[in-house]
Structure 1
Amino acid sequence: MIRKLAIAAVLCTAAGTASAADCNAVTVEDAFDLDEAAINVLYDCLKDKMATGYAKEGDEIGSTYRSWAPTATRPGVAGPHGNRLLNTFANDIAADQYLKFADEGVEMPVGSILAKESITVSIKKKAARPGPLFIMTKVGTDDAPDTAGWLYAGLQPNGKVMKVKQSFCHDCHAGWEAQDYLGYPLEEVRLGASTN
């Protein structure tokens, strides 16, 4: 408990004096040790830097995802994507179905896009910084037969397109086949959840 309070105090102090350019100086011990208050402070400190960075190269998703439906009250540490803090947004086509957070029988409509912000927490450097924007687009099985109709993509924090091996992403998402290969935010942060 003392460790969590110390981390929160450091985050509050750093966030209170930090500009978007130096938020990466905020120190943490372990992403899983962060409580809700500390995560909120960290996200508030980095969110503008993330949005500006993802949009930097003019990518349409990187420039517009923040206008989409949020799926969580705050980022959460779920374990996938390298133990990053994750925060997902759903476009208009995806939002209604995704926000049900159903455990089975999910079939996302073609045109659904999910954009997942990430904050990378470096244990070695004891620092946090913007991570990639992970993107899933439902294109249908005719266009992506090897990945059940999904295309996986990403943007680096500077807006440059990431090289993404489709099978690498899909092999992990295969664990959620009944959910149309979708991972969801942690239950405690889900927005408007009606879990099954």
Structure 2
Amino acid sequence: MIRKFALAAALTVVAGAASAQDCTAITVEDAFDLDESQINVLYDCLQEKMATGYAKEGDEIGTNYRSWAPTASRPAVAGPHGNRLLNTYANDVAAEQYLKFEEEGVEMPVGSILAKESITVSIKKKAARPGPLFIMTKVGLDEAPDTAGWLYAGLQPNGKVMKVKQSFCHDCHAGWEDQDFLGYPVEEVRLGQ
């Protein structure tokens, strides 16, 4: 009897692992070809793994960002960040201004923090997996004069801090200077407008 129970438990674990693996499978040739339902399946499958992974090393942002204001109804492919699926959260300082999604004259308050979950879609492997948590913090010009007052950071899916070259991130964000260097979620998924 114990042996049958152990075998049944082992089969359940294997089936659960296979099921988790299957929910990350993709069939498209380009991340931009994923439709809303496919994205929702991937996110449902990976969201807990992402949150747990980002928090694993005890980073304050990685542990708490999910309690912040969501800025989109679901992840979406916007193009930047390596064509990953992106889903942004804004802390209390940032939320009111960020959720306006204004295109001109934006000035985020110092203390604003944005945390952007990412899902890496591998066309070659035909699967998705958690990507980095990208973080932007408005610290002001005195602390970050070369990046318009922003500090860029990131956490790997295992919670370890990424090495981030500030100029690499800021050079891309410079394209949104009128928006205080902020990219926004694609319009179809934006919340709070």
Give your verdict on TM over 0.5: yes
Shift of 1:192: 1.8
1:18 maps to 19
Work out the CA distance in 2 between the residues paired with 1:18 and 1:41.
12
Shift of 1:34: 0.8
1:172 maps to 172
Shift of 1:23: 6.1
Work out the CA distance in 2 between the residues paired with 1:71 and 1:179.
16
Letter in 2 for 1:94: A
Answer with 25-34 or 147-156: which moved more. Answer: 25-34
CA RMSD, Structure 1 to Structure 2 (Å): 1.6
Q: May I ask how many residue pairs the two structures share in their alignment?
A: 177
Shift of 1:28: 3.5
CA contact (8 A) 2:110 2:139 kept: yes
Percent identity at matched positions? 82
CA contact (8 A) 2:24 2:45 kept: no
Q: Any unmatched runs of 5+ in structure 2? A: 1-15
Shift of 1:27: 2.5
CA contact (8 A) 1:120 1:128 kept: yes
Work out the CA distance in 1 between the residues paired with 2:70 and 2:182.
15
Q: CA distance change for structure 1 residues 125 and 24 in 2, over 3 Å: closer, same or farther?
A: farther
Letter in 1 for 2:55: A
1:68 aligns to 2:68 (yes or no): yes
What SS does the aligned partner of 1:40 have? helix
Q: CA distance change for structure 1 residues 152 and 36 in 2, over 3 Å: closer, same or farther?
A: same
2:128 maps to 128
Greater Rg by CA: 2
Aligned counterparts, 1:63-102, within 5 A: 63-102=63-102
Deviation per CA, 1:44-103, whole angstroms, max 9, x where unpaired? 000000000000000000000000000000000000000000000000000000000000
Query: What TM-score, normalized to structure 2?
Result: 0.88
CA contact (8 A) 1:43 1:75 kept: yes
1:36 maps to 36
Detail structure 1 runs of 4+ shifted over 6 Å in the superposition.
none
CA contact (8 A) 2:23 2:45 kept: no
Work out the CA distance in 1 between the residues paired with 2:23 and 2:131.
11
1:104 maps to 104
Q: Any unmatched runs of 5+ in structure 1? A: 1-14
Query: What TM-score, normalized to structure 1?
Result: 0.87
Q: CA distance change for structure 1 residues 163 and 72 in 2, over 3 Å: closer, same or farther?
A: same
CA contact (8 A) 1:59 1:159 kept: yes
Work out the CA distance in 2 between the residues paired with 1:151 and 1:191.
25
Deviation per CA, 1:10-31, whole angstroms, max 9, x where unpaired? xxxxx9x723xx3675234221
CA contact (8 A) 1:23 1:46 kept: no
CA contact (8 A) 2:23 2:41 kept: no
Work out the CA distance in 2 between the residues paired with 1:96 and 1:127.
36
